[in-house]
Every structure is written in C-alpha cells, then in structure tokens.
Chain A
C-alpha cells in the first residue's frame, strides 16, 4: 500500500540516512537492502581544492533514490531558511527535512524557530518535513503553517533509545489521523521501528542504527523487515491488552468439570 508525501506516492515506509557508513560502497549496499525510496542528504561547506561533495553526489545519483535534503545543524530560522533555499537549488526538489536545533546535548528541536521557519518555507513553495517533538500544540501550529507531514522524534538523534514517549506518540497519531506521521530519530533496534509502525505511524526515518551497526547491510534488511511487519500488524488491527488471563482453549466441554466445582 502506497502513501502520499505531498505530491509523491511512496511505497517503502523506510526512509534512510546517508551519513556515518564505513564507506560509500557500503552505504549504497545498505540503501539497496533497506528498499528505501527516500534518502536524506545534507549540505556542507565545499573546498575548491578537495570537492569531496561531488563524489558523494555521484554515489547518491547512482542509488536512484529520491533525496530529502535536511537543514541539520541549523540553530536559527535564518540559517535554516537559507540552507533550505540552497538545498532546493542544488538538489532540485521542493522537499526539505526542516531541522532547527535548540539544544546541543539532546539536539532537541527549537519548536518556536521550527514553526516560524516552516511558515516561511511553506509560503515559498517548499514541501516541508518538520523534525519536531510529539507536542500536540506544536503539531497543530506546524499544520496551520502549511506542513502536510509531521516527523516527531522517537528519542534524541543518534541515541538509539527507541520510543521515549509512547503515550505522546500515540496521542499524536490519534489527534492527526489523516496527516502522514514519520518517526524520525532515536531508533536503535528494528523492534523500535516495528513499535512505531504498530502505533499506526506511516513511516520511520533513521540513519545511525544502520550505519553504525557491525554489519550495516544486514541491519538495513532487519529494519526493512521490522517496518513491514509493524505496518502489517497495524493494518491487521491487533488485540487490546487486558489485565487478566483469558483462556485461548475453549472451556466448554472441558473434561473432569462438574457443576459442584463451579
């Protein structure tokens, strides 16, 4: 089943980052193993003598994936907006993964700057994928600012802690049933990604958990399976938890039963 991210129909629910791999060749293999259609990329200062970014760009083009440029590391609205403008020109896409970082230890989004930058970019024709928290009020303001997708964090970027606030993520899903929701950041294990999908999230974006694994290609496969599994679980409508046991084997006709024991 496909999902629509702005004007694009996407099949894979796995969005994967391109950083931190042991080599470009392993990155390409991992992207292939992930079956992701979308990869995140960034912009960094380029030296006229080294031009390292040019090689990277040729690798990404070879992957055939759609690119989702980020504004990683930007700490102000101005930096994020200008970076988005540069990304749109260089990658020739209206998509931007909007990050406005508010705090260095947690890399927590500056949600005030995020909403303002999202408003400016949406008005300028961008299709914004905002990296946000699970805060419902911020989510509402981002939607009012023109965002048609939300990307709440699972946990701080690169922490591998999984879903820190399952209640908050579930609430967000319940409040915005028709907005594509992508858990972005903090995922460490395939089970974390499956849990996000089981909550009804539409996709998962991760990087470090694959790139820094001992075998990134195998881990990319593991995540692809987990994300598909979680999606199918949600679509299959799982049972509710209950406090007491409920026998799965029929009780009627149980041998040795008699009415004196009832």
Chain B
C-alpha cells in the first residue's frame, strides 16, 4: 500500500505502525509518532493499523529555541 511518512510517499507492506518503524530502520530509536495528525502513543503502535493513504509523522528530539 502507499502511505506518506514524514512528507515522503513510500510503499510499505507493514500492517501496523510498529512494523513500519522496524521496516524503516528505526529500531529502538526514541521517537514519537502521529497518524493522520493525531498522536499514536508508543504503547499502541502494535495495535495501530496502517491503511492506504495514511499520513504518518515520526519525530525525535531536536535543537530548539
């Protein structure tokens, strides 16, 4: 299916958000995730299904003012 991750269109076989993170190489990285503009908590990533057309954000700590 086709989804958008961090603004980039990708094709994925991942059924869940946790599978997507593994597939995309995040491993144990400290990240937060949102699906279609709403927080997808880390504790729910296994249950969070991915659907065609989903917009997914994966963010990490960064410098800020």
- Chain B, 2-41, CB within 8 A of any chain A CB: 6-7, 21, 24-26, 29-34, 37-39, 41
Is the CB–CB distance between B24 and A48 below 8 Å?
Answer: yes
- Bound CA span A49–B25, Å: 6
B13 CB to nearest A CB, Å: 15
A68 CB to nearest B CB, Å: 9
User: Does B1 sit at the interface, judged by CB under 8 A?
Assistant: no
**Which residues of A are found within 8 Å of B57, using beta-carbon distances?**
45, 82, 86
- Bound CA span A64–B33, Å: 25
Is the CB–CB distance between B26 and A44 below 8 Å?
Answer: no
- Bound CA span A47–B26, Å: 8
Is the CB–CB distance between B59 and A45 below 8 Å?
Answer: yes
B47 CB to nearest A CB, Å: 16
Is the CB–CB distance between A57 and B61 below 8 Å?
Answer: yes
Query: How many A residues touch B, CB cutoff 8 Å?
Result: 41
Is the CB–CB distance between B65 and A56 below 8 Å?
Answer: no
- Bound CA span A208–B26, Å: 31
- Chain B, 37-57, CB within 8 A of any chain A CB: 37-39, 41-42, 57
Is the CB–CB distance between B30 and A48 below 8 Å?
Answer: no
Is the CB–CB distance between A54 and B30 below 8 Å?
Answer: yes
Is the CB–CB distance between A86 and B30 below 8 Å?
Answer: no
User: Does A258 sit at the interface, judged by CB under 8 A?
Assistant: no
**Which residues of A are found within 8 Å of B65, using beta-carbon distances?**
17-20, 40, 42, 70, 72, 157-158, 206-208
Is the CB–CB distance between A41 and B39 below 8 Å?
Answer: no
Beyond A45-B57, A82-B38, A86-B34, whether A54 also contacts B63 by CB under 8 A is no
Is the CB–CB distance between B63 and A20 below 8 Å?
Answer: yes
Is the CB–CB distance between A48 and B25 below 8 Å?
Answer: yes
Is the CB–CB distance between B39 and A69 below 8 Å?
Answer: no
- Bound CA span A42–B60, Å: 8
Is the CB–CB distance between B58 and A90 below 8 Å?
Answer: no
Is the CB–CB distance between A90 and B60 below 8 Å?
Answer: yes
Is the CB–CB distance between A89 and B39 below 8 Å?
Answer: yes
Is the CB–CB distance between A53 and B61 below 8 Å?
Answer: yes
Is the CB–CB distance between B60 and A53 below 8 Å?
Answer: yes
- Bound CA span A246–B23, Å: 77
Is the CB–CB distance between B63 and A19 below 8 Å?
Answer: yes
Beyond A17-B65, A56-B62, A208-B65, whether A86 also contacts B26 by CB under 8 A is no
- Bound CA span A83–B63, Å: 15
- Bound CA span A17–B26, Å: 27
- Bound CA span A91–B61, Å: 8
Is the CB–CB distance between B63 and A41 below 8 Å?
Answer: yes
Give the contacting residue for B62; candidates A41, A78, A79, A157; CB below 8 A: A41
A184 (CB) vs chain B CBs: closest residue: B65
Most buried by A among B34, B38, B63: B63
- Bound CA span A160–B39, Å: 35
List the interface of chain A (C-beta within 8 A of B).
Answer: 17-21, 27, 40-49, 51-54, 56-57, 60, 69-70, 72, 78-79, 82-83, 85-87, 89-91, 157-158, 206-208
